[in-house]
Structure 1
Amino acid sequence: MSARDQLLVVIDPVARRTDGESVRIAKDVLGAGAAVRICLPEGPEDFAKALARRGTRRPVVIGDDRALLRAVAALHRERELHSCAVSVVPVGAVQVLSRSLGVPIGAVAAARAVLEGAERRLDLLVDDSDGVVLGTLRIPPVAASASESASGGASGSTSGSTAVDGHPWLRTCQSFVRTLARPSRVASAPGPAPARLRVEADGVLVVDLDQPVEGVSVRPGSDGFAEVEVRPTSVGAAAQALRVRARTITVSGADFRYRADAVVGGPVRTRTWAVRASAWGLMLPR
């Protein structure tokens, strides 16, 4: 049996808790087409150890975007990304990154891509603290969504619902009032304040501290360059976004946070990201 037919299937604990049925389906499909060794890590350390001890088996992650990031980051730290193709079966609520990379959604389709797909080499970003970015880097981080704010307001009123048990009509009225009030609270929530950042692309100044910006985004391309977009704060007429391509991006300024895929980092005063061309492989449908 070839190494391609031998899989180490690492099942993220969050996936096991949130969608056991999809995990079971993925295991069945993978087990029917390859020799599978199952690993059930309980935390990040177990996760990394399992990948480090995989031998010649191809790593397959069953989990959400965070599990995929954890796997790639662990292999990067071990300097093993070049030697294996990563596979992922997306299970969980956060699948934005997997979808953007072309991974099929659905346990059966994704598991079949693991067995029958082809490796595609992809660029990634590596920062000066050895962190990796597979999809999009955003500065500042995206604020909490309106739906998250709304759910927070609802959870805060749970004790009120308990106090009126036995009076369904009163609970209905209170629920209706909360529904009317909630959108106004979300609408009035202030957005993120403009940031003052110095952005350099391959050593060339893109924007300096005297120009407030609404945000910066960086995405690895497919040719060894990253796509950089800087959105200056508009004054009167809408300001035009500044777009450049670069191999190295340095951002500095007052303490700032950033979102690298699904993970928020910082605060830092300066950070540099460099493109690594074709640095990792992902199994995708042919």
Structure 2
Amino acid sequence: MSDHDQLLVIVDPVARRSDGESVRIAKDVLSAGAEAKICLPDSPEEFSRALSRRGSRCPVVLGDDRALLRAVTLLHRDRAPLALVPIGPPDALEVAYGLGVPRTAVAAARTVLDGAVRSMDLLVDDSDGVVLGDLRVPAVPVPAAGTAPSVWGTCRSLVRTLVRPAPTYPGVLVHRLRVEADGVLLADVDAPVTAVTARPDGGAGTAEVTVHPAGPAAAPRRASAGVLTVSGPDFRYRADGRVTGPVRRRTWTVHPEGWGLTLPRDGA
């Protein structure tokens, strides 16, 4: 309890609007077990100010994945730990659940009081965006076999074909990307790919990178790296469910044990 006897409980405004009852229950559990200062920001700016003025209090966010990502973005430079009580629909909490946060407000609030901080690796890009779980480049999904690509995808493919002929694979969108992992070239623009995926490699201090080449017989290429750079024609990427871009170049760097999250103790 000594690590959590002073809490800064920040209630995301979306959580207050979407499920006020769960918010109330979580606040009651936290206030009953620790000295808790409750903060009700109405904007991202107020959210940021509350975290910056946390002092020695452990921040506890009541909200969904977007609130968690906002907090980690603001706190990772100090490697400050935090806790999350999930409030929101399941599809807005996939990242949190994937990290091991309990699924109910009561269980998560009790974990804040009785759990332990687990240090985790973090991917940080060159615009200070963070990735806690999955990264996908580009953001567009790969259609199933026999599925026609969207009109926008068709237009982009046509433009690429006019600039430089590209092989065609039925039902699959291909992209010309240059992919470097720790300076090693995994793919170049003359060899189309369907996607590049990455995620922190389970505390190893590296990211697990997979390049999916185009072509029915092409095997994925995998690497573990501390730095991943992707460049090419304008592309969007999806990180923890958020779509960013378009950009022409982006570099992600692994920060070993770059953040900490309070989770249930082993065996709890």
- Compute the TM-score of the two structures, normalised by the length of structure 1: 0.79
1:65-214 counterparts in 2 under 5 A? 65-76=65-76, 79-80=77-78, 82=79, 84-93=80-89, 94-143=92-141, 190=150, 193-214=173-194
- 1:19 is displaced (CA, Å) by 1.0
- 1:27 is displaced (CA, Å) by 0.8
Unpaired segments ≥5 residues, structure 2: 151-170
- 1:100 is displaced (CA, Å) by 1.0
> Which residue in the other structure is 1:218 paired with?
198
RMSD: 2.0
1:199-278 counterparts in 2 under 5 A? 199-221=179-201, 222-234=203-215, 237-278=216-257
- Is residue 50 of structure 1 aligned with residue 20 of structure 2? no
**Aligned residue type for 1:136:** D
Percent identity (aligned) = 61
Answer yes or no: is the 8 Å Cα contact 1:257–1:265 preserved in 2: yes
Between the aligned partners of 1:219 and 1:273, the Cα distance in structure 2 is 10
- 1:280 is displaced (CA, Å) by 0.7
Unpaired segments ≥5 residues, structure 1: 146-186
Encode CA deviations 1:99-143: one digit per residue, 9 max, x unaligned: 111111110111111110001100001111121111111111144
> Which residue in the other structure is 2:62 paired with?
62
Between the aligned partners of 1:269 and 1:6, the Cα distance in structure 2 is 44
SS at match of 1:111: helix
**Aligned residue type for 1:243:** R
CA, structure 1 residues 43+37, in 2 after alignment: closer, same or farther (shift >3 Å)? same
Between the aligned partners of 1:48 and 1:140, the Cα distance in structure 2 is 30
Between the aligned partners of 1:117 and 1:4, the Cα distance in structure 2 is 9
1:25-36 counterparts in 2 under 5 A? 25-36=25-36
Larger Rg: 1
Give the number of aligned pairs. 240
Answer yes or no: is the 8 Å Cα contact 1:141–1:258 preserved in 2: yes
Answer yes or no: is the 8 Å Cα contact 1:3–1:57 preserved in 2: no
Higher mean C-alpha displacement, 270-279 vs 129-138: 129-138
- Compute the TM-score of the two structures, normalised by the length of structure 2: 0.85
- 1:189 is displaced (CA, Å) by 6.1
Between the aligned partners of 2:39 and 2:128, the Cα distance in structure 1 is 26
SS at match of 2:139: coil
Between the aligned partners of 1:274 and 1:135, the Cα distance in structure 2 is 14
Answer yes or no: is the 8 Å Cα contact 2:236–2:245 preserved in 1: yes
- 1:188 is displaced (CA, Å) by 5.7
